Chain A
């Protein structure tokens, strides 16, 4: 079964964990195994929301994943990155550079969503909505992009 990497950083914005579960659910329905790469606090929030691992059963450390992608130890045909700050953009730009064969989807959210999306110069699909508590503004676009992406891998 194909795997897709969901790449997340700082969990400061409330919509992040629900978006991870939403994307994981979409991927599982499409027959793709979601793997979440996160820092410890972001991972803990997703794990607490999905204690039985119904949506996400595999987690990886964020920095180790960057190293392993750079060293060619792991590869994913699809990487979906959730970004709401400059550090998230830096991590995603790095993943895009060290894993050029992957299809990249960047989901920008939080109050700086549009500014950050304009700074993203790496290849891939980008969607943005300045949301913090309400996921609704991005779901239609997210569905559309995911439907296209899972057909590609």
Chain B
């Protein structure tokens, strides 16, 4: 995930199950979207168990990043381009 390294990001939670990530995104963000598996964020297809939720908090993206040996991370990424794509193509979650 080389592209992520070039961006300003923060790890909010680590070694989560996918169910837990949905709860974390819900707790942290009022503005949330459902995206399909494989949706590109920072140039990489998002890995996850549908429904995959991402959120926007203070114009930063709250999303998941899964590693085979370390489970799923919830990260906060400063990426206006990805926020634009999520708002344009994601399905709003109420």
Contact = CB atoms under 8 A, between A and B. Distances in A.
B47 A91 contact: yes
A90 B49 contact: yes
In terms of DSSP, what is the predominant structure of the interface of chain B? loop
A39 B72 contact: no
Interface in A63-122: 63, 66-67, 69-71, 85-91, 93-94, 97-98, 119, 121
Task: Choose among B48, B68, B70 the residue with the greatest number of A CB atoms under 10 Å from its CB.
Answer: B68
Interface residues of B, number: 21
Contacts of B49: 89-90, 93, 119, 121
Interface stretch (B37-45, B54-62, B75-83): B37-45
A93 B68 contact: no
Helix, strand, loop or mixed for chain A's interface? helix
B69 A91 contact: no
A43 B72 CA distance: 21
A87 B68 contact: yes
Contact of B38 (A62, A87, A89, A98): A98
Contact of A93 (B1, B17, B37, B40): B37
Residue of B36, B47, B67 with highest tally of chain A CB at under 10 A: B47
B69 A94 contact: no
B75 to A, nearest CB: 15
A9 interface: yes
B60 to A, nearest CB: 23
Interface in A11-64: 12, 39, 41-42, 62-63
Interface of A: 9-10, 12, 39, 41-42, 62-63, 66-67, 69-71, 85-91, 93-94, 97-98, 119, 121
Interface of B: 1, 17-18, 36-38, 40, 44-50, 66-72
Instruction: Please provide the 7 A-B residue pairs with the shortest distance between their CB atoms, ordered closest to farther.
Output: A70-B38, A9-B68, A10-B69, A94-B37, A97-B37, A98-B38, A70-B45
7 contacts: A9-B68, A41-B69, A86-B17, A90-B47, A94-B38, A98-B38, A121-B49
